[in-house]
Amino acid sequence: MNTAEQKLELLQWIVNAADEDLLRYLCRIRTVHEQAADWATLLKADELETVYNKLMAIEYDTEKQKNIADKLYEGYL
């Protein structure tokens, strides 16, 4: 089954759904998905700048990169 067929099947299932709990659940999934996909817009300007500055610091600081990598993979090394 290709993606288009899956989408149509899901749409038809949702249109025919009478279970209000199911519909509320699907709405919650949509909300969480939208928030997760657009998390940067939820941040204030100063918070976004802080995230950017920290990412830039990591990018240019090879010792910091090594420390982060060591911490991430310490259980595997």
pLDDT in tens, 21-75: 888 998 888 887 777 766 667 778 888 788 787 777 777 777 777 777 777 777 6
Q: Supply the pLDDT for residue 77.
A: 54
Shared domain for 47 and 32, answered yes or no, is no
Please give the Cα distance from 71 to 60 (Å, whole number). Answer: 18
Is 34 in the same domain as 11?
A: yes
pTM: 0.42
Show the domain range for 9.
1-39
Categorize the per-residue pLDDT at 8 as very low, low, confident or very high, splitting at 50, 70 and 90. very high
Is there a single domain that holds both residue 30 and residue 64?
A: no
Looking at the structure, tell me whether residues 26 and 51 fall in a common domain. no
Q: 52 and 27 in one domain?
A: no
Quote the CA–CA distance of 3 and 44 in Å, as a whole number.
36
**Structural domain count, the chain:** 2
Q: What does the alpha-carbon distance between residue 63 and residue 57 come to, in Å, rounded to a whole number?
A: 11
Whether 61 contacts 68, CB under 8 Å: no
C-alpha span between 35 and 37 (Å, rounded): 5
Residues 48 and 74 in one domain: yes
For residue 46, the model assigns a pLDDT of 84
User: Are 51 and 74 within one domain?
Assistant: yes
Residue 13 has pLDDT above 80, yes or no: yes
Contact 26, 14 (CB under 8 A): yes
Q: Residue 14 and residue 12: Cα distance in Å, rounded?
A: 5
Are 23 and 57 in a shared domain? no
